[in-house]
């Protein structure tokens, strides 16, 4: 059974070429978007004879790209950006001519150029007259594309728009959506229960004041999302963050480190994997004033007391889940991270350097070095979303070794 939830937040580049089946691609865009994918449509010139770009723009909510050498388009999302942006390139319908051009390695229109420039998987859904499909040249081109790793969906047999009967009908949108979703179904953590903490905590001083930190929760949320994509059953315990809840997981909101610790203790029993991304305050005010503290003398002392170390507590349980901790360091990254691995007795530490522009707290990018008892791996700087997927893959591999 394919779960469409794998499509959540995936970037799908849909190429539409000039065949009568192009009208079905409108429904395809609708279904992909409904499943949570972000869709950008690229149309060939011939496709625009069958259906207007405006239809796809309205359905996808994104501009439609049609030309390779349009200075305006290239200044925004040009062919290279589109090729990089795509998590998967789907061409539906794919005409005999497009297949021939693709197989020949052409790059003289936008869609062919993207097919050349992308590293993303490609899935094509041919649609054409049955004789054109059976034609040896077409068959050779299809075989060549398949050899290059391009995936094929269909065509199906049946009555055709041209009045003939035979193979050449485009696969129905619902089935194509499932096939696209299947591409993202890693199943690495299928059915595994995962508990994740994320965001900062707020340690109250009085009813209106608190101590907190700069954590945005973005990395933790990206990891939660990646765990969902890997098939896990995810519970996300979040401090105060301004982030939308990813689909298909359970989110529990907390404020203070103590609240977070209590929720984690309640939830951890059945958990196979615990990932602590939260920036839990190490200390909280010893006393919380019942009323707002009024100003007084020039100096004031705030007495702090240590908060429970949630990660260390989980790792110290009699039969702990696989535990992953985070370490944000400004210096001696390796030394401190490896120290944490030992001190807290966790299975993996994901360490990142903070204070570098564009990465770390509140940034969209990050880079990590993963340390475990007898190994390490560097994950280069990239979007937190992409990084989270790589992290989940490594965690799944480490768990499978146990
Ligand atoms: N952590 C936790 N509970 C706490 C404190 C930290 O679960 N009360 C977890 C964090 O989620 C993170 C890791 O422990 O996974 C961070 O370790 P920690 O030693 O607290 O990091 P720093 O506070 O940055 O370390 P230090 O004070 O030693 O610089």
Question: What is the phi/psi pair of residue 179, to 5°?
Answer: -65, -35
What are the boundaries of each domain within the chain?
Answer: 4-182, 193-400
Fold of 4-182: Rossmann fold (3.40.50)
How confident is the model over 298-353, as pLDDT tens digits? Answer: 999 999 999 999 999 999 999 999 999 999 888 899 999 999 999 999 999 999 88
99-117 tens-digit pLDDT = 999 999 999 999 999 999 9
Q: Which residue's C-alpha comes closest to atom 9 of ligand 1?
A: 311
Q: Please list the residues that pair with 275 across neighbouring strands.
A: 196, 324
Residue 12: strand, helix, or coil = strand
79 close to 110: Cβ distance less than 8 angstroms: yes
The answer, yes or no, to whether residue 363 has pLDDT greater than 80, is no
Structure tokens at 386: 């992409």
193-400 matches 4-182 in CATH topology: yes
3-state secondary structure of 357: coil
Cα 188 to middle of ligand 1, angstroms = 27
DSSP state of 252: E
- The 8 Å CB, 24+ separation contacts for 141-148 are 141/96, 141/99, 141/100, 141/102, 141/103, 141/104, 142/99, 142/103, 144/103, 145/99, 145/102, 145/103
264 Cα nearest atom in ligand 1: 7
Question: Which one is catalytic: 162, 165, 174, 269?
Answer: 162
Ligand 1 mean position, distance from CA 143 (Å) = 54
* Mean pLDDT, rounded, for 54-69: 96
The reply to whether CATH 3.20.20.70 applies to domain 193-400 is no
Could you give the count of Cα atoms lying within 13 Å of 52 in the half-sphere of its Cβ? 3
Res 360: pLDDT: 67
Separation of 349 CA from ligand 1 center, angstroms? Answer: 11
Burial class, 377, CB count within 10 angstroms (exposed 0-12 / middle 13-18 / buried 19+): middle
pLDDT of residue 365: 82
User: Mean pLDDT in the chain?
Assistant: 93
Q: Which atom of ligand 1 is nearest to the CA of 349?
A: 15
Return the best residue to mutate from 271, 275, 280, 348 for the ligand 1 pocket (most ligand atoms within 8 A of CB): 280
Tokens of 223: 């990891």
Ligand 1 binding pocket, CB closer than 6 Å: 197, 257, 276-278, 280, 282, 307-311, 325-328, 340
CA of 350 to the centre of ligand 1 (A): 12
162 is catalytic: yes
pLDDT of residue 145: 95
CA torsion 265→267→271→273, rounded to 10°? -70
User: pLDDT by residue (tens digit) across 142-185?
Assistant: 999 999 999 999 999 999 888 999 999 999 999 999 999 988 87
């Amino acid at each position: 059974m394919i779960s469409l939830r794998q499509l959540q937040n995936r970037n799908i580049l849909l190429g539409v070429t000039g065949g009568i089946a192009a009208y079905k691609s409108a429904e395809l865009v609708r279904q992909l978007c409904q499943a949570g994918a972000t869709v950008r449509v690229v149309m060939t010139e011939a496709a625009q004879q069958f259906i207007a770009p405006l239809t796809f723009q309205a359905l996808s909510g994104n501009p439609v790209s049609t030309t390779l050498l349009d200075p305006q388009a290239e200044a925004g999302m040009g062919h290279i950006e589109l090729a990089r942006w795509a998590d998967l390139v789907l061409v539906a319908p794919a005409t005999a001519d497009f297949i021939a051009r693709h197989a020949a390695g052409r790059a003289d229109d936008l869609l062919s150029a993207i097919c050349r420039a992308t590293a993303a998987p490609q899935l094509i859904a041919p649609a054409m007259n049955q004789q054109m499909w059976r034609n040896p040249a077409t068959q050779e081109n299809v075989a060549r594309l398949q050899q290059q790793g391009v995936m094929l969906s269909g065509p199906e047999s049946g009555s055709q728009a041209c009045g003939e009967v035979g193979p050449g009908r485009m696969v129905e949108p619902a089935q194509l959506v499932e096939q696209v979703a299947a591409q993202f179904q890693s199943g690495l953590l299928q059915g595994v229960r995962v508990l994740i903490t994320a965001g900062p905590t707020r340690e109250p001083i009085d009813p209106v004041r608190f101590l907190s930190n700069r954590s945005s929760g973005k990395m933790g949320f990206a990891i939660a999302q990646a765990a969902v994509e890997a098939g896990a059953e995810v519970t996300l315990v979040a401090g105060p963050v301004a982030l939308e809840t990813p689909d298909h997981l359970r989110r529990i909101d907390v404020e203070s480190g103590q609240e977070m610790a209590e929720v984690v203790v309640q939830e951890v029993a059945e958990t196979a994997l615990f990932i602590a991304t939260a920036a839990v305050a190490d200390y909280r005010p010893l006393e919380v004033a019942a009323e707002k503290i009024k100003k007084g003398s020039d100096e004031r002392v705030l007495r702090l007391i240590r908060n429970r170390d949630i990660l260390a507590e989980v790792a110290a349980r009699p039969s702990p889940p696989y535990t992953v901790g985070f370490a944000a360091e400004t210096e001696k990254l390796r030394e401190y991270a490896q120290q944490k691995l030992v001190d807290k007795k966790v299975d993996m530490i994901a360490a990142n350097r903070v204070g570098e522009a564009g990465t770390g707290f509140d940034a969209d990018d990050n880079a990590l070095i993963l340390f475990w008892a007898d190994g390490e791996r560097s994950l280069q700087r990239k979007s937190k979303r992409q990084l989270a997927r790589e992290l989940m893959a490594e965690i799944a591999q480490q768990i499978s070794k146990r």
